[in-house]
Structure 1
Amino acid sequence: MERSSLRNWKIALPLVLLMAAGIYFTGRSVQAGGPEPGSSQDPLVTKSYVDNYINSRVRELRGQLDNINRQIAELEARVTALEQRPVIKLTIGSKTAYVGGTAKQLPVAPYQTGNGTSMVPFRFIGEALGAKVDYNAATQTVSYTTAAHSVILKIGTLSGTFDGRKVDIPAPATLINGTTMVPVRVISQGLGARVDWDQATMTITIRP
């Protein structure tokens, strides 16, 4: 029985090898004569598929580029608007201030406290910076509101609320001859402006 099985395997093995060789060489001939990869006849990746993919990516990149260009244009417009806002100049001890080169008379001259904090009329500085200004006599508070910022100070208090956050300030809002005076630097910076100080001329320059 074992010899018969062995004899059968000896006969079958060459046949299996011949069949495998035939399949192998047939596959090779089909591959050699097959379509070029990426061509319109390629069953896996057709040329139209590649074209559609490239076009979709180009459209996507163009959309991203258009979005970037819009953002750049918006930033340029904002920069231009900021550059066109007038520079504000005040001098310690002088009732004359300048907004964009135009002289303005102040009810009380700016002064400095003992710790060197410059104080200015609250309404003037707020309006010059384009803020809505409000005074609440009942709560003894002054407030400034712009599209981007809000500032609230209570007279006589060494803290304020800036954009909803409590912040310590170097000098409290103070009433002088009926005019509320406020620390110019913290108010201006709280409203998004830049403040420069010239010690030689005792001049405050505010750039919105």
Structure 2
Amino acid sequence: MKKIGCTSLLLLLVLVLLPSNTTAAKSTTAQGISFPDPMLELIVRHYIDKPTGTITQSDVDKITSIDTNEVHAMLAKKAKRPGVSSPLTGIKNLKGLRYLRNLESLHIELRHDPVVMHTIKDITELKELKKLKKLSLTGVSLELLKGIETLTGLTSLDLSSNIIENLEPLQNLTNLEYLNLSWNQLNQGSGLAPLKRMNKLKTLNLYMNSMEDIMPLSHLTALQELTLGGSGNGNLKALSTLKNLRKLNIDYFNATDIKPLASLIKLQELSMVNNQIEDLTPLTGMKQLQILNVSENRLKSLKPLQHLTELRILKASYNQIESLEPLKDLIHLKQAEFQNNRLLSLQGLENKNKLKSVSLVNNVIDTRSDAPAASILARLEEQGTEVSYTNFTPFPDILLLRKTKFSYAFGKFVELPATPYERNGRTFVPLRVISELLGAEVQWNQKAQTVTIKHDRDTIVLTAGSLEMKVNEQPVTIDTAPVVYGDNMFVPIRFIAEQFGMLIKPNGHGVSINRF
């Protein structure tokens, strides 16, 4: 008997096994493709237009795109149960999708009206979909990304609103141009290091992840759009290398120093809402900037914006801005928002022929007919600009604003030693308001805890914690007693102002006081 060589033995084994595998593949095709998840099967049948019968490989080869938004109404109808208002059950199992070998786009998303809730825990079924270019699994409670590492042809990936912590499976997806990871838990995982090699990435959304370290982003020099809102500790140094950025969002980022942004001269849109920014000087070189939102910061001046003549939209509400004059040459402005600042005039809004709307609510701007602002306001309204502003009647001599130490008095803003507050429908103010704003003489007796207030011929004596005061030595009962907090005595302003013959009037912004 002749000995069989190793090579011959190997060949024999191959010949024996090959028919078996071929038979198995043919058997799968003959038996059809099954989808254990009824919702997924419903979707597949919709796309192949085959309500019943065996689903074959040739059937699913026709599918290049699946989008649950396109079939939302059908899914809602199928999942709805009489008398049950809880979220409807959507896709839970992706098994069977591996056979959709021509699939180029897959979109599964939590939808409302009514709610159809997809819950996907395992995406390993997708690893054979080599033609997949766009993948979106949004709001599906996804935790683990195992299986996605083989999808190196992906150019667009949306994994927003999940509970993902670890991005390591993404590190080889270097063809990505769009990546949305907003509303996940990246602060608890491997960080952003797995993204460093994505040198084709143009759009990245990391909104609401609260990450401490964003330095890996410095490698993504092809980025054109970046959203970091609510996702960091205020350190912007990593962004200085991203000189191709056109759009940047750092809302709620705890930023104070924006100097690293000075090199981003190609920016066209910048949003920095709710930070602690005091100085906009680093923006002076952004000549292409068209949209800027710096609301809810600590800005006092818009002067660094005076040469950004391409600005179309400017939002700067809830700051401490005192003047709009730096905007006089920004002739392309279409929309402007300056609510809750310290504006006293409209100078700077002249010659704004393209301005469609401007909001000036909660500023103390004198718009009476003989005031300079009245003519600017009239021109804006004549050209069709929608102007929102606070119209005070009568215009106050003094305006004590809520929740701030800054108040208006006789044409300027002043800082009080403490913030006025309300209790039992009464407004309490620091004692210095009486002396500095009302022009009264104030004497404080620390030992007796009394304050004597003299104004013209009237003398008022109040005692901390007492409901009795004396007006020109006559006892008068009040319904709210003065109090001492820390180093400040707070007194009820209405009783005092009225005793001095002043008109006091609460409004939606605080309390206005007028001398007769």
Q: TM-score normalized by structure 1?
A: 0.55
* Residue 122 (structure 1) shift: 1.4
Q: Is residue 511 of structure 2 the alignment partner of residue 204 of structure 1? A: yes
Among 482, 485, 495, the residue aligned to 1:173: 482
SS in 1 for 2:443: strand
Indicate whether 1:140 and 2:449 are aligned.
yes
- Does 2:407 correspond to 1:100? no
Structure 1 residues 110-130: Cα deviation after superposition (integer angstroms, max 9, x where no partner): 1111x2111001122233111
Structure with max Cα Rg: 1
How far 1:172 sits from its partner (Å)? 1.0
Cα-to-partner distance string for 1:159-187 (whole Å, 9 max, x where unaligned): 10012211111211111121000001001
Higher strand share: 1
Query: What is the aligned partner in structure 2 of residue 23 from structure 1?
Result: none
Q: How many residues align?
A: 120
**Contact 1:108/1:176, CA 8 A, preserved across alignment:** no
Letter in 1 for 2:451: V
Q: Is the CA contact 2:434–2:442 (under 8 Å) kept in the aligned structure 1?
A: no
1:125 alignment partner, SS class: helix
Does the CA-based 8 Å contact 2:429-2:491 persist in structure 1?
Answer: yes
Residues 9-38 of structure 1 deviation map (CA, whole Å, 9 limit, x = unaligned): xxxxxxxxxxxxxxxxxxxxxxxxxxxxxx
1:162 aligns to 2:471 (yes or no): yes
Q: Partners of 1:192 and 1:163 in 2: how far apart?
A: 14
Task: Give me the whole-angstrom Cα distance separating, in 2, the residues matched to 1:166 and 1:206.
Answer: 25
Counterpart residue type for residue 105 of structure 1: E
Report Cα offsets for 1:21-76 as digits up to 9, x if no partner. Answer: xxxxxxxxxxxxxxxxxxxxxxxxxxxxxxxxxxxxxxxxxxxxxxxxxxxxxxxx
Question: Partner amino acid for 1:122?
Answer: L
Contact 2:431 2:490 in 1 (8 A): yes
Separation in 2, partners of 1:126, 1:194: 17
1:95 is matched by which residue type in structure 2? K
1:103 deviates by 0.9
Q: Is the 8 A contact 1:154 1:160 kept in 2?
A: yes
More helix by share: 1
Give the Å deviation of 1:98: 1.2
Q: Mark the runs of 5 or more structure 1 residues left unpaired by the alignment.
A: 1-85
- Structure of greater relative contact order (alpha carbons < 8 Å, 6+ residues apart): 1
Q: Is the 8 A contact 1:155 1:174 kept in 2?
A: yes
Give secondary structure in 2 for the equivalent of 1:171.
coil
Please identify runs of 4+ aligned residues in structure 1 that moved more than 6 A.
none
Q: Structure 1 residue 93: deviation in Å?
A: 1.4
SS of residue paired to 1:189: helix
Shift of 1:94: 1.2
Superposed CA RMSD: 1.4
Given that residues 170 and 183 in structure 1 are in contact (C-alpha distance below 8 angstroms), is that contact kept between their aligned partners in structure 2?
A: no
Whether the 8 Å contact between 2:405 and 2:419 is mirrored in structure 1 is yes
Q: 1:123: which partner in 2?
A: 432
Matches within 5 A, 1:50-61: none
Once the two structures are superposed, what CA deviation does each residue of 1:123-176 show, in whole Å capped at 9, x if it has no partner?
222331111111011211011112221111001101100122111112111111
- Pairing 1:88–2:395 present: no
CA distance in 2, matches of 1:127, 1:107: 11
Q: Separation in 2 of the partners of 1:194 and 1:148?
A: 18
Unaligned residue ranges in structure 2 (runs of 5+): 1-395
- CA apart distance, 1:96: 0.3
Letter in 2 for 1:109: T
Whether the 8 Å contact between 1:117 and 1:170 is mirrored in structure 2 is: no
2:501 to 186, 192, 197: 192
Deviation at 1:91, TM superposition (A): 1.3
Alpha-carbon separation, structure 1, partners of 2:410 and 2:404: 17
Aligned partner of residue 407 in structure 2, secondary structure: strand
2:461·2:470 contact (CA, 8 Å) conserved in 1?
Answer: yes
Alpha-carbon distance in structure 2 between the residues aligned to 1:122 and 1:168: 19
